[in-house]
């Protein structure tokens, strides 16, 4: 079975953007592949964060992922910092990664532009990401299209390491993108993110979903209800494509072009579809929150299963790189 690895930062509750952009895909992949899904807390500390919130957000993310359909019987779900080999391999990889490649990364350029002093951790973010995936020798990485550049760099890191220490040892992972288009936020502008408050959480009630949808930006050319709209220019229409059945999508387009429906009518229908999709998630999340011990046990078991693979990879990596074996010469 082909192996899949993906990661998500512990930003707390999952939202519509994460769900459509990545997690829905993860849930589908569990049936076909050997999946490892990781809550990447070491990545989260590369930008300003509140230490007191890291732990509860990590737990919330685990609850959200389980509620959205990640099944611990079929996939390994774990927290990055619980498997020490991630940071160990990341260090090794810094020694085969050209700084120029890291400085070229779009995400690094965007994030560092907003900062007065740029930290090495931010620069090395993609090196840690390469370690995440390659530690498990995963071949496929389901991500949003903004991560494709990081995966290309990961392939280069694998090639460089292999060239020096063992041809064919690390596979070159492929990105797996099904929902290629970016999920635009309800502001009609930026990528959906919790910090921009332009999204909907997967555990929100129908009322709260409506509160977010009602003011959402639609086709800017459509000012009055009687103005005909252009569905292709409307973000609500693009969200319909993710939640509504084919006939509904056609009806929505038709009613928009002919001004048969106002934008609010269209949003109402979308809101119902989103609420219906998220209702079971909300229910499962409430159950899990009432029983945190079950979640801890899932994460403990996930870390054990991940560690078993990670330890084996690192043992071989150290051996190929010529390190003095700790199990013979030291107490670990």
* Binding stretches for ligand TRP (CB under 6 A): 5-7, 9, 40, 43, 129, 132-133, 141, 143, 147
> Which residues are catalytic, by number?
111, 191, 194
Is there a contact between 19 and 193 (Cβ–Cβ < 8 Å)?
Answer: no
Nearer to ligand TRP, 47 or 277 (CB): 47
User: Minimum distance from CB of 67 to ligand TRP (Å)?
Assistant: 19
d(CA 89, CA 325): 16
Q: Which pair of tokens denotes residue 235?
A: 């973000």
Q: By the 8 A CB rule, do 70 and 29 touch? A: no
Residue 241: CB atoms within 10 A of its CB come to 15
- Provide the 3-class DSSP secondary structure of residue 119: coil
Provide, rounded to whole angstroms, the least separation between the CB of residue 89 and ligand TRP.
Answer: 12
**Rounded CA separation 191/185 (Å):** 5
Q: CA–CA separation, 107 vs 280, rounded Å?
A: 34
For ligand TRP, the closer CB: 97 or 147: 147
Q: How far is the CB of 201 from ligand TRP (least distance, A)?
A: 18
Question: For residue 32, which phi and psi values (nearest 5 degrees)?
Answer: -110, -20
Give me the least distance between CB of 132 and ligand TRP, in Å please: 4
Residue (6 or 199) nearer to ligand TRP, CB: 6
9 vs 203, which CB is nearer to ligand TRP? 9
Q: Are 60 and 51 in contact (CB under 8 A)?
A: no
């Amino acid at each position: 079975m082909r192996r899949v690895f993906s990661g998500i930062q512990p930003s707390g509750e999952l939202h519509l953007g994460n769900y459509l952009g990545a997690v829905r895909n993860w849930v589908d992949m569990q049936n076909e592949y050997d999946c490892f899904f990781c809550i990447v807390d070491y990545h989260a500390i590369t930008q300003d964060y509140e230490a007191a919130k890291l732990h509860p957000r990590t737990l919330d993310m685990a609850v959200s992922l389980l509620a959205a359909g990640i099944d611990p019987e079929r996939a390994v779900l774990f927290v990055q910092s619980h498997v020490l080999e991630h940071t160990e391999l990341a260090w090794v990889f810094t020694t085969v990664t050209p700084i120029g490649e890291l400085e070229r990364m779009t995400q690094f350029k965007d994030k560092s532009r907003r900062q007065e002093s740029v930290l090495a951790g931010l620069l090395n973010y993609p090196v840690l990401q390469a370690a995440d995936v390659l530690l498990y020798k995963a071949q496929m990485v389901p991500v949003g299209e903004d991560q494709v550049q990081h995966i290309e760099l990961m392939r280069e890191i694998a090639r460089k390491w292999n060239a020096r220490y063992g041809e064919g040892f690390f596979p070159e992972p492929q990105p797996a993108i099904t929902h290629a288009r970016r999920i635009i936020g309800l502001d009609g502008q930026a990528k959906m993110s919790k910090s921009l408050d332009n999204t909907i959480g997967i555990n929100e009630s129908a009322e709260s979903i409506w509160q977010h949808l009602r003011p959402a930006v639609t086709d800017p050319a459509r000012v009055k209800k009687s103005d005909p709209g252009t569905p292709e220019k409307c973000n609500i229409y693009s969200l319909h494509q993710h939640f509504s059945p084919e006939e509904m999508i056609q009806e929505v387009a038709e009613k928009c072009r002919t001004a048969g429906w106002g934008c609010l009518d269209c949003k109402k229908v979308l809101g119902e579809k989103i609420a219906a999709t998220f209702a079971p998630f909300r229910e499962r999340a409430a159950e899990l929150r009432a029983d945190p011990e079950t979640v801890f046990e899932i994460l403990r078991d996930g870390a054990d299963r991940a560690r078993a693979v990670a330890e084996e990879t690192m043992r071989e990596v150290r051996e190929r790189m010529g390190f003095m074996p700790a199990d013979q010469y030291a107490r670990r």
